Amino acid sequence: MSVTPASVRAAAERIKGLIARTPMLRNAALDRAVGAAVLVKPEMLQRTGSFKLRGATNALLSLAPDVRVAGVVAYSSGNHGQAVACAASALGVPATIVMPADAPAIKRDSTAFWGAEVVLYDRESGNREAIAAEIVARTGASLIPPYDHVDVMAGQGTLALELAEDAAGEGLTMDAFLSPAGGGGLMAGCALALSEASPGTKCFTAEPEDWDDTARSLALGERVRNDMRGSKFCDALLTPTPGKQTFPINQRLVTAGFVASDDEVRAAMRFAARNLKLVVEPGGAVALAALLSGKAKFPGQVVGVVLSGGNAEV
Q: What is the pLDDT of residues 241-282, one digit of tens each?
A: 999 999 999 999 999 999 999 999 999 999 999 999 999 999
The pLDDT value given to residue 84: 97
Q: Identify the helix (H) or strand (E) that includes residue 271.
A: helix 262-271
The pLDDT value given to residue 157: 98
The pLDDT value given to residue 251: 98
Low-confidence ranges of the chain (pLDDT < 50): none
The domains of the chain are located at 5-50+150-307, 53-143
Cα–Cα distances (Å) from 193 to 108, 153, 253, 263, 303, in that order, read 31, 10, 11, 32, 16
The pLDDT value given to residue 313: 77
Domains 5-50+150-307 and 53-143 share a fold: yes
Contact 155, 11 (CB under 8 A): yes
Contact 250, 233 (CB under 8 A): no
The pLDDT value given to residue 63: 97
Asked if the 5-50+150-307 domain carries CATH number 3.40.50.10800, the reply is no
Q: Identify the helix (H) or strand (E) that includes residue 123.
A: none
The CATH architecture to which 53-143 belongs is 3-Layer(aba) Sandwich (3.40)
The pLDDT value given to residue 71: 98
Q: CA 179 to CA 257: how far, in whole Å?
A: 9
Cα-Cα-Cα-Cα dihedral sign, residues 143, 147, 151, 155: positive
What angle, rounded to 10 degrees, do the helices at 150-169 and 5-15 form? 80
pLDDT in tens, 195-248: 999 999 999 999 999 999 999 999 999 999 999 999 999 999 999 999 999 999
The pLDDT value given to residue 105: 86
Strand ranges inside 225-283, DSSP E: 254-260
Catalytic residue numbers read 52, 308
Work out the end-to-end distance of the chain between its first and last CA atoms, rounded to an integer number of angstroms.
Answer: 42
Q: CA 162 to CA 164: how far, in whole Å?
A: 5
